[in-house]
Structures are given as structure tokens and as C-alpha cells.
Amino acid sequence: MNGGASPGFARGRRLRSTPALRRLTAQTRLSPADLVLPVFVKEGIDEPVPISAMPGVVQHTTESLRKAAHEAAEAGIGGLILFGIPSEKDPVGSQADAADGIVNVALRQLRSDVGDDLVLMADLCLCEYTDHGHCGLVTPAGVVDNDPTLDRYAAVAVAQARAGAHVIAPSGMMDGQVAAIRRALDGDGCTETPVLAYAAKYASGFYGPFREAAEGAPQFGDRSTYQMDPPNADEALREVRQDLAEGADAVMVKPALPYLDVVARVADAVDVPVSAYQVSGEYAMVEAAAARGWVDRRRAVLETLTAIRRAGAGTVLTYWAVEAARWLR
Ligand code: PBG
């Protein structure tokens, strides 16, 4: 049986016949350098705190984070993205730009520990730092106040760059945030610090477990006025173009797996690096199914990462970064 009269008919099958042939002809490759690990560092704890909905993920102490960063460098991944959880929250998120704020302390340590081996990204948002849990300042009426928030983002960007962040990654989805951050960085002499914009970030149900990890759940309302609406795809391209016009050096789509069409369209449309964030709920879903024996964990994990790369993302932010990197070596 050779698949019929046409000699080309069995071509796919012939090229799949051994693992070495499959490896040789694989169109998408995944390597440790493509992966970025999101990490959480919490102020005022003595031991790492496990996140219940994300088995294997913890809120780090500064010391446990340093150890994790060394392991990440050892595994050869591309970088880390840091989220800080302060002990004190207030309406303006003061701890985000305090020089002794937890994320800035951690950035300074990691920059000297592993700064030559890993790209250190700072997630820039206020939701982990505000007592109301929104990504920006809120008016007395409880509405997120776009423009005054930009001044806060500018101050946070400068603080993070000064603390050692190689890349500033604004995730708050305020209009004009990239321009405000670029201007502030340039004004502070940080002209070489790139901005990776969370350009197409959807108001997603898949952020659930993250809100436990980052302790940033909104205390009222939700984020659907500033994050994108899941049915919309053209709007993602508009958001991306806008962020590039404002000076973004690279763009991100988030979440990843439910939005592969958006990843593919963005990757086709732009000529800057494209990242995709495989978010907490995507992680939890596979972990939960694997724990029940319903999917083969390693196979499912690598398949999701490959799919995200295949769609066109050059970089994947994933909680499996270090483990997957070890598998890929
Ligand atoms: C903060 C932020 C969120 C995530 C990354 N940055 C949460 C949110 O927007 O509610 C989610 C990441 C994840 O779920 O893994 N703005």
C-alpha cells in the first residue's frame, strides 16, 4: 500500500516514519531560549507560599527567588518576568515604585546574580499594589482613571529600570501607556531600555489562578473596560499598531492558547518580536487534567508550547519554562 496512484500521496507518511526524520523535518522548533518564566516575589514571608490553583508555582521569598533564578539560568531559558506582592497596599500603589519596594529590591538582587545570563523583565501594573486591586487609579465613583494612571506608570517604569530591569513590560492596558513610559525612560537616561507592550490583552477568565498568586483581584467590578473583549480580533491589530506608534519595541498577545488566531495575525502584521503569555488558567487546566491522568502531562505541555510557537510567537511566557527547558535539552 503506497497510498494510491500518485507518488506524492504518501509523502507525508514517508517523512514521518522515524523519530529522526520527524525531527529533521519539524517546521517549528522550541528551544529553552524561547521561554520566559513568570515569577512572584512576596514581601514579609519566610518560606515560599504555594499557589493552590497552580501546583508547582509559589510566591517566592527574595532568597528562594534567587535560587529559582539560578536554576532558570542553568536551564538556559530566555528570561524571567517579575511580579511583586507588597505587604502594604494603598490606593495609588506606592510600593510599585518605592526604591525599597519588594519588586525593586528583587530586581536589584537578580540583576547582580544572573543579569548577564537572563533577560530580566518587569511586569508594570498597579493591580498587585493597589488596595482596590485595579490596574490603575480609580475615581471616587469607582471608575479606572486612565490619564492620571499614566504618571504612575511613568514613575514605576523609571524605578524598575533603575533597579535593574532589562525590559519594561506594561500590562495595565491604559491608553497611551507605552508613550508615557517611553518618554519617562528617555527622560531618565534609560534610552536603551526596551518596552515590551502587552498590546493585545484580553479580559480573560483564564487569569483566575494568577489573582491568587499576585493577590491582585479587583475588589469591585472587573477589568472589562480596559482589557479587550474576547470576540474581537481586528481590535488586537489596532492595539498593536497603536503601541508600536507609541514606541513599543516588542508586543505581546495574552492569553495564548485560546487566542492563537490573534497571535498568528499579529505575527503576520508586524516586524517586531512577538511574545505570547500562556497564562495561569492555561497552566491550571493542563495540570488539573494531568493530575487525574486524563492527559499525558509532558506531551500536553510541549504540544501547547509548540502550538504557540507555530502560530507565530517567538517568545512564550510560561510557568513551565524551566521544566520544559530541561526536557528540551
Ligand atoms: C496584571 C496581570 C495579570 C496577568 C498578568 N499581569 C492579571 C490581570 O490582568 O488580571 C495574568 C497572568 C496569568 O494569568 O498568568 N495586570
Domains in the chain: ranges and CATH: 31-328 (3.20.20.70)
State yes or no: cis peptide before 7, omega within 30 of 0.
Answer: no
Are 83 and 103 a contacting pair, CB within 8 Å? yes
CB atoms within 10 A of CB 274: 24
Q: How far is the CA of 210 from the centre of ligand 1 (A)?
A: 6
Q: Looking at beta carbons, which pairs linking 291-297 to residues 24 or more positions away fall under 8 Å?
A: 291/55
Q: What CA–CA distance (Å, rounded) separates 33 from 35?
A: 5
Which residue of 83, 124, 127 sits with most ligand 1 atoms within 8 Å of its CB, as the best mutation to test the pocket? 127
pLDDT in tens, the chain (329 residues): 455 567 778 888 999 999 999 999 999 999 999 999 999 999 999 999 999 999 999 999 999 999 999 999 999 999 999 999 999 999 999 999 999 999 999 999 999 999 999 999 999 999 999 999 999 999 999 899 999 999 999 999 999 999 999 999 999 999 999 999 999 999 999 999 999 999 999 999 999 999 888 888 888 888 888 899 999 999 999 999 999 999 999 999 999 999 999 999 999 999 999 999 999 999 999 999 999 999 999 999 999 999 999 999 999 999 999 999 999 98
Are 213 and 57 a contacting pair, CB within 8 Å? yes
Q: How far is the CA of 223 from the centre of ligand 1 (A)?
A: 11
Q: What CA–CA distance (Å, rounded) separates 33 from 78?
A: 4
- What is 103-141 written as a DSSP string? HHHHHHHHHHHHTTTSEEEEEE-STTTBSS--SS-B-TT
Does residue 67 have an active-site annotation?
no
Pocket of ligand 1 (CB under 6 A): 123, 125, 127, 135, 171-172, 207, 210, 223, 279-280
- Helix, strand or coil for residue 232? coil
Q: What is the pLDDT of residue 9?
A: 81
